[in-house]
Structure 1
Amino acid sequence: MISFDEALAIVVAEAQPLAAETVTLGAAQGRVLAEPCVAQVDAPRSDISVMDGYALRDADLALGAPFRVIGVAYPGTRFDGVVQQGACVRLFTGAPLPEGADRVVVQEDVAREGDTMRVVGTLSGKRYIRPHGSDFRVGEVLLEAGTVLGPRALVAAAGADVATVPVWRRPRLSVISTGDELAEPGHARGRAGSIPESASYGAAALGEAWGAEIIDRYRLRDDIAELTAGATRALDEADVVVVTGGASVGEKDYAKQIFVSLGTEILFSRIAIMPGKPVWFGRRGAQFVLGLPGNPSSAMVTARLFLTTLLAGLSGRAPSAALRWRSAELTAPLEAVSARETFVRARFDGDGVAPLGNQDSGLQRALAEADVLIRRLPHAAAAPAGSMVSVIDF
């Protein structure tokens, strides 16, 4: 049995980006840049007005005379002429500044009659002009490789006149649940002795949230032939296979030995953590298999710790991005910890984190109430309310 840090280091070492591919911006949400995004245009492409108003020569304001309105400019349409002394151009927000003008007077500060405009308001020192290239210039790197393309990053890429981006391929994920006692949700009530299978739904949703493409999710009985066929199918189609259940040492816990028989090298098996001691991790060539406990809370805790780390790295992020621990204040006491590193399900209560009262690994209602995990090192002493602890979002 190895420590949590030793197991995590093995996953991190294996979590290297998959092949790169090029996608359109419309398909890039949540993807990770494989190369920097470089501006293809200046922004803005010329001096532009940032307000609706009139473009004129700033020096002419001191004359106090009315201005002749000689034309109009709209966004994307430049006035075809030069602003001379005593002249002005009506323009709107985003319109290119006419040649010869160096100031915009906002429309609220003027009065207009026909083709004559007078300044009637008290002017501020602002010129209301966004200079050419003040945002970025052609050739500048706007987004570094490794950037996760969210809404704001996509705006920057589109504004740089970029239509496609090179990104790391999303890991293909299959999730297998095992156990004779399991039934598909909605069918357990009609079969005596069965329970609804739930862990695979959580593992698949967590995988998708961390960049995976879900290929399949299916349930298998504790039958060697059925499990072998399912494992073969999963390895044929996925980069990562998650198996829930069959990770312990029971009489029908076949999952790990079946994947070994199919050529999977076990990189670790059993970790000194609570919950989740039976978790295991293996590799077959460029494919990975993560075996999670069957109890829902144990499965979700270990998936949060190891599956997210693996998927972060495979999809092009730093694996460490998955486990960014931060400090939070306890609002209720914690008991001392045994020799196994412990991950306590807890929730924010407005002022800090409060451990859930029942940490049983099979609970599902309590699982839904938790939104953070508290990390407790082996042999940690009892911690009173007000103590600082390490947490991650759950």
Structure 2
Amino acid sequence: MVSIEEALKIISNQPVNLKTETRELSKCPGFSLSEEIRAPFDMPAFDNSAMDGYALCGISKEYNIVGEVAAGDKSDYKLKEGEAVRIFTGASVPENSTAVIMQEKTKVEVSKLILEQVPNEGQCIRRRGGELKKDQLVFEKAYTITPAGIGLIGSLGIEKVEVFKKPKINLITTGNELIEPGKEKAAGQIYESNSYALASACEQYGFSINGKEQIKDDFQAIKSGIRKSLKSSDVLILSGGISVGDYDFVKQALEENGVEELFYKVFQKPGKPLYFGKKADKYIFALPGNPASSLSCFYVYVLPFLYKLSGSQKDGLKQFNVPISHDFENKADRPVFLKANLVNNHVVILNGQGSSMIQSMALGNALVFLNAETSVKKGENVSCLLIS
């Protein structure tokens, strides 16, 4: 058995072989860059108007209107003192433009422009290179591409980018008692939900499931399922069958498939029977079957490793130290991850902390970490992972 810190260190120290691919820009959200991006030109590429109005030459309250420039037009105007042109947002400002005045602060009498107030030099003009200079670093390698990042990359004229591939993930759940939702449930059976929860958790953080399978508590079937799944995945996640019961066959099935155990069992609650192993460049997490245990282990251990395999700068969930809203005592002899709700910068530990209880996790948005046999008073800071 290892400590939480030891387990996390073993996971984070694993060498990974990052693979790259070229993707169209529209298909890049959530992927991490495998190379830096630099600006191919100044941005903006030319001085342009920040709004609809008039480009002015000189500082005055009256100007002669000598023309018009629309967005996309090439401006051939070279303004003289006291001259103005009608201009629209994004249009190139003429040479010698001192400022742009918004149309709402003007009135026009024939070809005469009259301003409500004297403009400031340079106002409402977006200067060339004001956002980025040519060859300036835009994004570092490993930047995780956001919607705003997509917009910026597109504005640089880049249609394809080099990114790190995301790992192929397979899910296996085990248990004789499990049936699919929608089927009629007999006595002693329960609806299988872990594969849905784990797949959803993966997708929430930008990962997709390559395939999933539900297998009965049969050693040969589990062994065969693991062997087949390892061929088509980079990461195999199993749920159930990893404890020490008579029908817990996962650990032995992994061993007989040549998987090297990196650790088994973590000194924590919930999720003590957690397994982590590898075979060549493939990695295996065997999670407990209890729903809250399974999801908690995913958030704490699996997700950071998925980020690492995808070349991301992220290393897991956001962690906060926030005050607790009430007194609480952890009487357990192990460190605990507690289902909680973070509201208005205070955290409340919820009822229903059993490892099989998923409702409290569904209603909460955080996990609170407390050491063994620890008491905290209202207002004291506790460590908190934000899960939604």
Identify the TM-score tier after normalising by the shorter chain.
Answer: over 0.9
Q: Which digits, 9 at most, give the CA deviation of each residue in 1:119-149, with x for residues without a partner?
A: 2411242532111111102211111112111
Q: Distance in 2 between matches of 1:349 and 1:51?
A: 40
Deviation of 1:109 after TM superposition, in Å, equals 3.1
Alpha-carbon contact 2:178-2:189 (below 8 Å) kept: yes
Deviation of 1:337 after TM superposition, in Å, equals 4.0
Letter in structure 2 aligned against 1:211 = G
Alpha-carbon contact 2:323-2:380 (below 8 Å) kept: yes
> What 5-or-longer segments of structure 1 have no aligned partner?
none
Q: Distance in 2 between matches of 1:349 and 1:107?
A: 45
**2:84 paired with 1:91:** no
Q: 1:15 to 1:117 in 2, by over 3 A?
A: farther
Q: Please state whether the residue corresponding to 1:302 is helix, strand or coil.
A: helix
Q: Distance in 1 between matches of 2:317 and 2:53?
A: 51
Question: Where do 1:1-394 residues align within 5 Å?
Answer: 1-14=1-14, 16=16, 18-59=18-59, 61=60, 66-67=63-64, 69-114=65-110, 116-125=111-120, 127-187=123-183, 189-318=184-313, 321-350=315-344, 352-379=346-373, 381-394=374-387
Deviation of 1:215 after TM superposition, in Å, equals 0.5
Q: 1:15 to 1:198 in 2, by over 3 A?
A: farther
Deviation of 1:369 after TM superposition, in Å, equals 1.5
Letter in structure 1 aligned against 2:126 = R
Q: Please state whether the residue corresponding to 2:303 is helix, strand or coil.
A: helix
> What 5-or-longer segments of structure 2 have no aligned partner?
none
Q: 1:57 to 1:351 in 2, by over 3 A?
A: closer
Q: Please state whether the residue corresponding to 2:304 is helix, strand or coil.
A: helix
Deviation of 1:324 after TM superposition, in Å, equals 3.7
Q: Please state whether the residue corresponding to 1:273 is helix, strand or coil.
A: coil
Q: Which digits, 9 at most, give the CA deviation of each residue in 1:161-205, with x for residues without a partner?
A: 221111110111111000000001121x43232100111111111
CA RMSD of aligned residues (A): 1.8
Letter in structure 2 aligned against 1:104 = V
Deviation of 1:334 after TM superposition, in Å, equals 1.6
Q: Distance in 1 between matches of 2:328 and 2:106?
A: 68
Q: Give aligned-pair identity as a percent.
A: 30
Deviation of 1:227 after TM superposition, in Å, equals 1.2
Provide the TM-score with structure 2 as the length reference.
0.94
Deviation of 1:100 after TM superposition, in Å, equals 2.8
Provide the TM-score with structure 1 as the length reference.
0.93
Q: Distance in 2 between matches of 1:135 and 1:314?
A: 33
Q: Distance in 2 between matches of 1:168 and 1:374?
A: 32
Q: Please state whether the residue corresponding to 2:26 is helix, strand or coil.
A: helix
Q: Please state whether the residue corresponding to 2:101 is helix, strand or coil.
A: strand
